[in-house]
């Protein structure tokens, strides 16, 4: 008899095992989100929105109301829900392609308007669902289907620094952090703070999570983990980028 690892309470048992590839980062990010929802006791109020990209596989993942939408448009859908019913806790979940390329204007403007929603973004440095093309976050030298000789920043620029960008746009009341699936406890903590920030009505909250895509990276377990733990943080620095109240403290 095998012992099943404990699932978050708000996960939907009927749809497990989930449909992500083995070793995929999405499952871990959603686990951290699930535990955060459990610990905050908000399963009855959360609306989960997911994008196109591998995140769409989470459309029936939770026992929470969920809306799967178009590529890059999860942020405005959740904004629309939140504006129409501010009692709900709205989570927009997307990949780095959805958030930083096709849907970047929505992310930027939701942040600028300080929309009281939580955006959770899984960064795997590729467009995964469409087969591993270059993403805005593909690292210099990294090979992808549309950068077969390695990304050349001279031609295609440097990886988007999402949380740094969002933190620069946001005003007082926003919460912005970058976590990693290599440190799930910390990631869960960031997600909890991001949700709490929305519950407190403070403002926009945004968490990026470094996540693996072994399928498109074509890496084995060891190399996958090495990339997430060692390579990705070279460009994507883990930590909190903006915390409500911190600005005042700095000035004291």
Ligand X SMILES: Cc1ncc(C[n+]2csc(CCOP(=O)(O)OP(=O)(O)O)c2C)c(N)n1
Q: Which of 24, 32, 37, 52 binds other proteins (CB under 8 A)?
A: 52
Q: Which of 128, 139, 169, 209 binds ligand SF4 (CB under 6 A)?
A: 128
Return d(Cα 161, Cα 208) in angstroms, integer: 10
Q: Is 151 in the site for ligand X (CB under 6 A)?
A: no
98 touches, from ligand X, ligand SF4, other proteins, none (C-beta below 5 to 8 Å by class): ligand X
Q: Which stretch binds ligand SF4 (CB under 6 A): 184-192, 195-203, 207-215, 243-251?
A: 207-215
Whether the Cβ atoms of residue 104 and residue 78 lie closer than 8 Å to each other: no
Q: How far is CA 196 from CA 29, 131, 188, in A?
A: 17, 35, 12
Q: Within 13 Å, how many C-alpha atoms sit on residue 196's CB side?
A: 12
Interface mask toward ligand SF4 for 16-55; x: CB under 6 A: ----xx--x-x---------------------------x-
Cα 84 → chain centroid: 24
Radius of gyration for the chain, computed over Cα atoms and rounded to the nearest angstrom = 17
Site residues (CB under 6 A) for ligand X, limited to 58-77: 71
CB-nearer residue toward other proteins: 115 or 240: 115
Return d(Cα 23, Cα 224) in angstroms, integer: 8
Binding site for ligand X (CB under 6 A): 52-55, 71, 94-98, 122, 124, 126-130, 135
């Amino acid at each position: 008899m095998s012992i099943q690892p404990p699932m978050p309470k708000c996960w939907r048992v009927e749809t497990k095992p989930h449909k992500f590839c083995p070793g995929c980062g999405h499952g871990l990010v959603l686990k951290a989100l699930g535990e955060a929802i459990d610990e905050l006791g908000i399963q009855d109020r959360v609306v989960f929105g997911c994008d196109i990209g591998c995140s769409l596989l989470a459309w029936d993942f939770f026992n929470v109301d969920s809306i799967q939408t178009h590529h890059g448009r999860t942020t405005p859908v959740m904004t629309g829900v939140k504006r129409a019913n501010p009692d709900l806790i709205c989570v927009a979940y997307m990949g780095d392609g959805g958030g930083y390329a096709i849907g970047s204007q929505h992310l930027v403007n939701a942040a600028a308007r300080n929309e009281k929603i939580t955006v959770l973004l899984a960064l795997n440095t590729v467009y995964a669902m469409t087969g591993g093309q270059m993403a805005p976050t593909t690292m210099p030298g990294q090979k992808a289907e549309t950068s077969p000789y390695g990304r050349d920043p001279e031609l295609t620029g440097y990886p988007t620094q999402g949380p740094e960008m969002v933190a620069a746009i946001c005003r007082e009341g926003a919460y912005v952090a970058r976590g990693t699936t290599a440190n799930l406890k910390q990631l869960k903590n960031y997600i909890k703070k991001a949700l709490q920030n929305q519950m407190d009505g403070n403002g926009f909250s945004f968490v990026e999570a470094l996540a693996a895509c072994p399928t498109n990276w074509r890496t084995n377990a060891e190399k996958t983990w090495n990339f997430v733990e060692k390579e990705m943080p070279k460009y994507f620095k883990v930590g909190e980028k903006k915390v409500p109240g911190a600005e005042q403290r700095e000035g004291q």
